[in-house]
Structure 1
Amino acid sequence: MKKLKLLIADNSEIFREGLVKLLEREPSIEVVSTCSTGLEAVESAHEHQPDVILIDTELDECGGIEVMQCIHERLPKTNIMVLTCSEVSTDFFSAVKAGAKAYISKNTSIENLIKAITLVANGKVIVSPPMAARLLAEFNVLEEHKDAVEVGDITRLSKREQAVLSLVAKGFTNKEIATTL
């Protein structure tokens, strides 16, 4: 069985090293590189051509969003997963615009992270439950105040973002969203 090649980009050395140790026990995943900066991540992605990149939205020298955009433009077949503490919806939408296929909380279990890596490598889209709940709550607030929201506000979202938001609002699970999209 071919191992999934994984690149990890996070500014926390302890987090990177801990994640590598946990993932070493998973025979289907090979961590090909770890990076602490955006520049390292772009260079390493080009060198190793990973199947999946785990990246935080916040890197030291430049934002993770810009790094995702750069990698997605250069390596469109590489699957980008955001692994972050941020539960800010604008970070989520920015990540999706930049090419992210998954948005996972750092509070997830290693088992769920491994499942998510495998699913994303196979073309699925994943949104962690905390972010899905946040998006639903924000959508419900918008729905309650839809008369006060200008029509153009939602149309500023890309078609993909609108589709994800619509499915989340309808109560679809991550798996159902991935299958639908």
Structure 2
Amino acid sequence: MREKYSIKESMILPFDPVPIIYVEPYENLPAPTVYEKFNIQSQYDYEKLARAKDEILLTGKYQQQKVADVKKFIRDDLITSKQVCIYYELENKVISRSGDQGVVALCDHSFINYGNESWKEEARHVLQQLNVFTDKTRHNFEATFDWLYEHTCSRSYGLGTRLP
């Protein structure tokens, strides 16, 4: 992976994790502790990661809740307590359809919460009633409903829908 992105070993090693959150019983470095406990070797150890995620959710302020349901609350708690700050970074240059290089600006956006389960159930119900061209089309809609969470729908200026 380092070769793919031209990252030299000296750029990342030795790597010392920075503690930013305290989680009982894992103290201030929960991720490395859980990775060692479950012998997780990569992001492809799906079964081990699922077990680790379930174990972490048994502790802390939001115990017994799904990560998808509480990650926004945890983020907000960390921001409010000034333990973290919001940081955005683009992975690539932004190029418009006309070939011009884009300038990225931080501006207020409104988001539609497609992660809301009642919305998802209603969308699935509507999809059942639709005549779609192929089964693949129906499957693509269903897959999108599963991963879709928040999506920006407006901007305070420029292109986009203006919302109050």
Category of TM-score, reference length = shorter chain: under 0.3
Higher helix residue share: 1
Select the structure of larger CA radius of gyration. 2
TM-score normalized by structure 2? 0.26
Q: TM-score scaled by structure 1?
A: 0.24
